[in-house]
């Protein structure tokens, strides 16, 4: 069945309709209208499955996609035009161009933590670039998966865009097919399997993964704002965010004051019922097991059956403890103190390159040092998470945190191939390029040096 669907989309793509800019804009507008029509249903489903508040659902899922659609529609005509680029003197008489073209049929595999946004935002890029698309939502959020299927099937013909529901077996079957591009968001271990499957057909991939994203607070930081913004960034969606602060490194002289302020903001933000659930009992049990190695500074209470783990801060954690061996992806924040920035950098460099890094410091020298010495996907200085929300900043990882980027223009680029074209003149022809010219080598040495 899936192979038949792929063949149907390939046939439709080769008709050329999706390459027309007017068509792409029309489909993006149709997608926006579909989201508007189902907005309340999306909010209700996110609350039902993940207990997200209407504010969190709109700001981090629905509104995010609206903004992405609006930004891309505004700029799409310009992006699709062939771009003339410089031509070197050695190619005198010719002109050089870059022609963006769609890959063809893209497979989008979405995760469960932001089940609407992380399925729809890549789809926006795929449509904008002129592709057909198969969207595979997560089986951990089946109600949202069903809603996405309903919404997309009402809006698009399945030969153009379709949703395929199911579990790991469905994903595995899809990955055996020869798509033209794969966009995957999820964990590092699954990302490796996706890349392995793609390599069998040499399919280009975009991998949006994760990792242990640190947040650093030095002695010059504005502690009040640092506490507020770390708490918001860490415990939004109950910590189930790929770019959430995974662990905290704080200068020993301000540690006690920072933690007290963080406790205050946890109470202020999340004791009013606006707090998400863990996606499944299996994930909740995994998170609770992390609490066995360390001292609980705040929180620690949980109800696995209700999939509830309160915001928790722990310390006295060894760097080789289980909680530090993988991305936490939940509302648990290990805290480490440091006495020098070199010590903090040394801790971070013991782990794989993170998807995000956050630094709270008023020192420009410290900011410069961190940006120059630590490799990571992206991040913020004196804030958390917000770098993901600007269409002018490509979002993506490096190393084990992924590769490739999207959002805004980068979304168009992620689903496009740029053809390099040289247009040569026929008004004249240089003889020294040919092997029968007696001074060919002399001229080549003069030109190519």
User: In this predicted structure, what is the pLDDT of residue 273?
Assistant: 74
Q: How far apart are CA 193 and CA 172, in angstroms?
A: 9
pLDDT at 75 over 80: yes
| Mean local confidence (pLDDT), 394-410 | 95
Same domain membership, residue 232 and residue 198: no
Catalytic site residue from 49, 208, 327, 400: 208
Output the six-digit token pair for 384: 């958390």
Q: Check whether residue 197 and residue 90 sit in a common domain.
A: yes
- Active site (annotated) includes residue 132: no
Question: Residue 184 sits in which domain range?
Answer: 2-209+402-421
Q: Which two tokens stand for residue 268?
A: 């202020």
- Encoding tokens for residue 106? 């893209």
Same domain (yes/no): 142, 70: yes
CA 313, CA 246: separation in Å to the nearest integer? 11
Domain-embedded: residue 170: yes
**What share of the chain has pLDDT > 70, as a percent?**
100
- CATH code of the domain containing 183: 3.40.605.10
Residues 256-270: tens digit of each pLDDT: 999 999 999 999 999
pLDDT of residue 270: 92
What confidence tens digit (pLDDT) does each residue in 81-115 have? 999 999 998 888 999 999 999 999 999 999 999 99
Please report whether residue 251 resides in a domain. Answer: yes
- Of 49, 56, 132, 242, which is the active-site residue? 242
Q: How confident is the model at residue 192 (pLDDT cuts 50, 70, 90)?
A: very high
pTM: 0.94
CA distance linking residue 154 with residue 102, whole number of Å: 24
Half-sphere exposure of 431 (CA within 13 A, CB side): 4
Residue 434 lies in a domain: no
Whether 192 and 142 share a structural domain:
yes
Residues in contact with 252: Cβ distance below 8 Å, sequence separation at least 6, in sequence order = 337, 338, 339
Q: Is 441 part of any domain?
A: no
| pLDDT tens, position by position, 307-323 | 999 999 999 999 999 99
- Do 254 and 234 share a structural domain? yes
Do 290 and 162 belong to one domain?
no
Tell me the pLDDT tens digit for each residue of 18-51: 999 999 999 999 999 999 999 999 999 999 999 9
Active site residue 343: no
Q: Look at residue 437 in the predicted model and tell me its pLDDT.
A: 82
Q: Are residues 13 and 30 in the same domain?
A: yes
61 and 203 inside one domain: yes
What gap in Å lies between CA 125 and CA 31, rounded to an integer? Answer: 12
Distance CA 335, CA 147 (A): 39
DSSP H helices in 298-417: 341-348, 364-373, 409-414
The structure tokens 């790991």 sit at 168
Q: Kindly state the helix (H) or strand (E) to which residue 126 belongs, with its residue range.
A: helix 117-129
Chain segment 325-337, per-residue pLDDT in tens: 999 999 999 999 9
Same structural domain, 198 and 253: no
CB burial of residue 88 (10 Å; 0-12, 13-18, 19+): exposed
389 and 262 co-located in one domain: yes
Element (H, E) at 124: helix 117-129
Does residue 427 lie in a domain region?
Answer: no
Please indicate, yes or no, whether residues 335 and 376 belong to a single structural domain of this protein.
yes
Cα–Cα distance for residue pair 144/150, rounded to 1 Å: 10
User: Domain total for the chain?
Assistant: 2
Beta-strand relationship, 205-208 and 181-185: parallel
> In this structure, what CATH number is given to the domain that contains residue 376?
3.40.309.10
The whole-angstrom distance between residue 90's C-alpha and the CA centroid of its chain comes to 41
Whether 432 is covered by a domain: the verdict is: no
Same-domain status, 14 and 113: yes
pLDDT in tens, 228-249: 999 999 999 999 999 999 999 9
The reply to whether 22 falls in a domain is yes
Residue 184 lies in a domain: yes
């Amino acid at each position: 069945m899936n192979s038949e669907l792929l063949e149907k989309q390939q046939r439709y793509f080769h008709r050329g309709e999706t390459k027309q800019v007017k068509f792409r804009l029309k489909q993006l507008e149709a997608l926006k209208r579909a989201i508007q029509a189902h907005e309340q249903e999306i909010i209700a489903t996110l609350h039902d499955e993940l207990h997200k508040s209407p504010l969190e659902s709109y700001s981090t899922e629905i509104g995010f996609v609206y903004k992405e659609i609006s930004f891309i529609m505004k700029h799409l005509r310009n992006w699709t035009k062939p771009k003339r680029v410089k031509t070197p003197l050695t190619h005198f008489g010719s002109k050089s161009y870059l022609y963006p073209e769609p890959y063809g049929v893209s497979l989008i595999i979405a995760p469960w933590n932001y089940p609407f946004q992380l399925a729809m935002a890549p789809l926006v890029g795929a449509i904008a670039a002129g592709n057909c698309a198969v969207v595979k939502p997560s089986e951990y959020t089946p109600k949202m998966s069903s809603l996405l299927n309903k919404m997309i099937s009402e809006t698009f013909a399945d030969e153009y865009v379709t949703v395929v529901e199911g579990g790991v077996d469905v994903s595995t079957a899809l990955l055996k097919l020869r798509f033209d591009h794969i966009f995957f968001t999820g964990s590092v271990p699954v990302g490796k399997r996706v890349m392995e499957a793609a390599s069998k057909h040499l399919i280009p991939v975009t991998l949006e993964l994760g990792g242990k994203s640190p947040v650093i607070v030095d002695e010059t930081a504005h502690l009040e704002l640092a506490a507020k913004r770390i708490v918001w960034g860490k415990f939004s969606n109950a910590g189930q965010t790929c770019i959430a602060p995974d662990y905290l490194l704080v200068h020993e002289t301000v540690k006690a004051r920072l933690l007290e302020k963080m406790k205050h903001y946890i109470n202020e933000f999340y004791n009013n019922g606006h707090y998400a659930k863990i996606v499944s009992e299996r994930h909740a049990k995994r998170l609770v097991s992390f609490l066995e190695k360390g001292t609980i500074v705040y929180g620690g209470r949980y109800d696995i059956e209700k999939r509830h783990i309160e915001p928790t801060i722990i310390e006295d954690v060894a760097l080789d403890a289980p909680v530090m061996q993988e991305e936490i992806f939940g509302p648990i924040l290990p805290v480490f103190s440091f006495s020098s920035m070199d010590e903090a950098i040394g801790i971070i460099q013991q782990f794989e390159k993170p998807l995000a890094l956050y630094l709270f410091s008023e020192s420009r020298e410290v900011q410069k040092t961190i940006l120059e010495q630590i490799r990571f996907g992206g991040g913020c200085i004196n804030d958390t998470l917000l770098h993901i929300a600007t269409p002018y900043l490509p979002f993506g990882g490096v190393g084990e945190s992924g590769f490739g980027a999207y959002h805004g223009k980068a979304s168009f680029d992620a689903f496009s191939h740029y053809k390099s074209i040289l247009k040569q003149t026929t008004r004249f022809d240089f003889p020294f390029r040919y092997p029968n010219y007696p001074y060919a080598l002399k001229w080549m040495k003069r030109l190519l040096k």
